[in-house]
Amino acid sequence: MTRSAKGQLVVVLGVVTMVQALLSLTVLAAASIAPEITQAYNIVPEMIGYQISIIYFAASAGSIVAGVVIRRFGPATTSMIALLIAASGLAGLASGLLIIAALSAFLIGVGYALTNPSAARILDKHCPPGHRNFVFSLKQTSVPIGGIIGGLALPFIAEAAGWRIAILTAACLCLIACVIVAPFRRRWDGEREQSVRFRGGIFAGLAELRHNRGLRSLAITSFCFSAMQLSLMSYVVSTLVIDLHWTLVAAGAMTAVVQFFGATGRLVWGLLADRTGSPMALLATIGAITTVAAVSMPLLSAESTLAAVAMILVPFGFASIGWNGIMLADIARHVIPEKVGDAAGGVMAVTFIGVVIGPATLALVHGVTESFPLAFFWLALLPIIGAVTALRAHIRARHAR
């Protein structure tokens, strides 16, 4: 790459990472201060999982139309739309009214749905082929970065100024980011197709899955992994506060540590994928590590030391949060450049369905077991399925070569 191309890639990465970090913050805002939110709304702690499920149900539906939105308006404008919608959702969450909070979760999900396909479209034009996995994984560190911001900042703001101020602070950050993205519209939206109509185009992503076996394997794997990832991110604070009797601030700090290692994992896994050329084999490895961590969760109790908690949660985050960049980079390998947005939207639609099912299932299991660590144990079935699917896809691709 020339120095100019490298500089351009750094700028692109910085902008798309910022956008997704803030959208991830909006998704995890309520979970970051779950005890405060549930007390204010007078609901049981596991209800936060249902809020996450509403968000990702909307994200799944939004992903179906993401490809045609990007082609119609361009990826930069689509990113701005996502930020504005998510900020509106956070404002609704701060209302204190349960029905408005449920509607706001839907808005946050629609905004989040537009981020990955638009970023994939932008990065696909600027990313050198030999570094795709690392670049996409570097961009995907935005998700745990958003979690780190939520885990460190929002509990502190909530205790100092109230939970509403914490939520509205996140909304203001989204509005500021929207202003930062605006100057890039002319450069990144130049190939938009204003003649594109929503009718007939909204299911283009799902059509790509139907005709492409490789994309289907990615979608199934990401379905399983996302279910566990968001269950961890949604309930780690509640697990530490309720089952292990930690303070909210301490639990937030440990959540930030988990997210930090999740971000580190994304870089490490992406680098390994570029070096080995075997992304599906690495996804199978990630699934195996996630499974071991999940089945180890019942070993934790109120008597567990900080070191014991870290020994389980750190590898849990490193694996279960670290897979996304590899998956997104591998999408482009299965389709032509013009179809990347549609294909990413189709895969993400299935991914978000997994997120809908994961936290909601864990909430149901918790209702029976009354233990978050034990609920994680039973949810370990999902990463097992994802690991097997990825391994079969790797073997099939190796035989084809």
Which CATH number does the domain housing residue 48 bear?
Answer: 1.20.1250.20
Write down how long the chain is: 401
Q: Is residue 124 part of a domain?
A: yes
- The amino acid at residue 268 is V
Output the pLDDT for position 206: 66
Nearest to 389 by CA among 211, 225, 207, 206: 225
Output the pLDDT for position 87: 95
Which residues, at least 6 apart from 159, have a Cβ–Cβ distance to it below 8 Å? 248, 249
Greatest pairwise CA separation for the chain in angstroms? 63
Q: What is the pLDDT along the chain (401 residues), one digit of tens a residue?
A: 566 667 778 888 889 999 999 999 998 888 888 888 888 888 877 677 778 778 888 888 887 788 788 888 888 999 999 999 999 999 999 988 888 988 999 999 999 989 888 887 888 777 776 677 788 778 877 877 887 888 789 988 998 899 999 999 999 999 999 999 999 988 888 777 766 665 555 566 667 777 778 888 889 999 999 999 989 988 898 899 999 999 888 998 898 899 889 888 988 998 898 888 888 999 999 999 999 999 999 999 999 999 999 999 999 999 998 888 888 778 877 776 667 667 777 788 888 888 888 888 998 898 898 899 999 999 999 999 999 999 998 898 787 76
∠ CA 93-229-170, rounded to 5°: 30
Q: Rounded to whole angstroms, what are the CA distances from 143 to 85, 253, 284?
A: 18, 16, 21
- Dihedrals φ, ψ of 231, to 5°? -65, -45
State pTM to two decimals.
Answer: 0.72
Output the pLDDT for position 5: 66
Tokens describing residue 190:
């130049």
What is the distance of C-alpha 138 from the center of its chain?
13
Distance CA 62, CA 112 (A): 8
- Number of structural domains in the chain: 1
Q: Is residue 193 part of a domain?
A: no
Q: Is residue 319 part of a domain?
A: yes
**266, 270, 276, 282: CA torsion to nearest 10:** 40
**345, 350, 355, 360: CA torsion to nearest 10:** 140
Distance CA 80, CA 282 (A): 34
Q: Is residue 92 within 8 Å of residue 103, measured between CB atoms?
A: yes
Tokens describing residue 4:
């100019």
For residue 307, count other CB atoms closer than 10 A to its CB. 7
- Alpha helices, DSSP H only, in 277-299? 279-296
Distance CA 302, CA 79 (A): 43
Q: Is residue 188 part of a domain?
A: no
Helix, strand, coil shares of the chain, percent, nearest 5, are: 85, 0, 15
Beta-carbon-side half-sphere exposure of residue 351 (alpha carbons within 13 Å) = 29
Q: Is residue 2 part of a domain?
A: no
Query: Coil, helix or strand for 85?
Result: helix
Q: Is residue 187 part of a domain?
A: no
Nearest to 20 by CA among 124, 156, 165, 147: 147
Q: Is residue 132 part of a domain?
A: yes
Q: Is residue 191 part of a domain?
A: no
Domain that holds residue 47: 8-182+204-400
